[in-house]
Amino acid sequence: MRRREFIALVGGAAVTWPLVAHAQQIERVRKLGVLIASLEIDPEGQARIAALRQGLQELGWIEGRNIKIEYRWIAADSDRIKSADAAALVALKPEVILAGPTSALAVLRPETQTIPIVFVQVTDPVGSGFVSSLDHPGGNITGFSQFEFTVGAKWVELLKQIAPSVARIGMIYDPVNPTSANYISVIDQAAKSLRVETHSYAVRTADEIQRAITTIAAEPNSGLIPLPSPLIVSHRELVIALAIRTRLPHIYSFRYYVMSGALASYGVDSHDLYRRAASYVDRILKGEKPGELPVQEATKFELVINLKAARALGLTFPPTLLATADEVIE
């Protein structure tokens, strides 16, 4: 080979090599869908998404660089619109969809049997028919459950500890939420063992919430347990304000209620579940099948109590309860 041709060949390779190296460095952008039953403007909904993003980042998934996330917020929509949003998300053909809580999974499941789904904050996924078993989910769905319905008995027990005079518990619930009936059953049984009456009130709007709480408070020695649902979450400030105004001892399912001014809560650290859910998104994007990934159960529960709310209600927390609380808000 002539010297001039050799130099040209080497020079051409030198130009080409950086281009090839650069091309190899360009990452494939993967697509994740998120269907979340929360208002987009709700700080709690944003906190859950922040926890998911944190979990993804810890595993090397950076939004806008190697993963694109399509969000659908469905808390305030009718069932028809929720289903339409779920169908629209499926039509985008994401490689994985994260759905939470139960009400989001319920509208998503009929829309696809092929796209992998990772759920978060689903109660009793086997009993609800979402998976075949916890160890071997089968199909295209797996995820992170939040707690069993038996936690309802703990709410009754704690409410009686906080306010021993409570002889009647009123529950408000969203009749559309698929978990409501099971919580009511567990709470009814637990209350009966403590000789406490129970009454349940279906609510769908702010006006119905106000009427139900006013009715509960009209009876002496009453307490309030709002059952978990996106509806109650979106109206939590109203529920809490009414409970304080009517001097109803109350207990909720998650910490963020207490951060909004409620008396007490006992439940799962939901942010931890969203952080952990990123690990299953990661594993599925890397080739594992959802049906072979066991359903993970909640591992972090927390009791949070609010001394300011207690003072407003004329209540004093027992020292033993204060000692066992995970967080005490002054």
Q: Which fold has domain 30-146+269-300?
A: Rossmann fold (3.40.50)
Helices (H) and strands (E) in the chain, counts: 13, 11
Query: Is the CB of residue 36 less than 8 Å from the CB of residue 74?
Result: yes
pLDDT tens profile 105-159: 999 999 999 999 999 999 889 988 999 999 999 999 999 998 778 999 999 999 9
| Average pLDDT rounded to a whole number, residues 267-296 | 96
pLDDT tens profile 54-90: 999 999 999 989 999 999 999 866 778 889 999 999 9
Enumerate the CATH 3.40.50.2300 domain ranges in the chain, comma separated.
Answer: 30-146+269-300, 151-268+302-329
Laid out side by side, the sheet with 67-73 consists of: 67-73, 30-36, 96-100, 117-122, 141-145
Q: Is the pLDDT of residue 4 over 70?
A: no
pLDDT tens profile 184-243: 999 999 999 999 999 999 999 999 999 999 999 999 999 999 999 889 988 999 999 999
Strands (E), the chain: 30-36, 67-73, 96-100, 117-122, 141-145, 168-173, 197-202, 222-226, 264-268, 301-306, 327-329
Give dist(CA 184, CA 194) in Å, integer: 15
pLDDT at 70: 97
Query: Is the CB of residue 290 less than 8 Å from the CB of residue 109?
Result: no
Q: What's the pTM?
A: 0.82
Per-residue DSSP letters for 312-327?
HHT----HHHHHH-SE
pLDDT tens profile 78-88: 778 889 999 99
Task: Say whether domain 151-268+302-329 belongs to CATH 3.40.50.2300.
Answer: yes
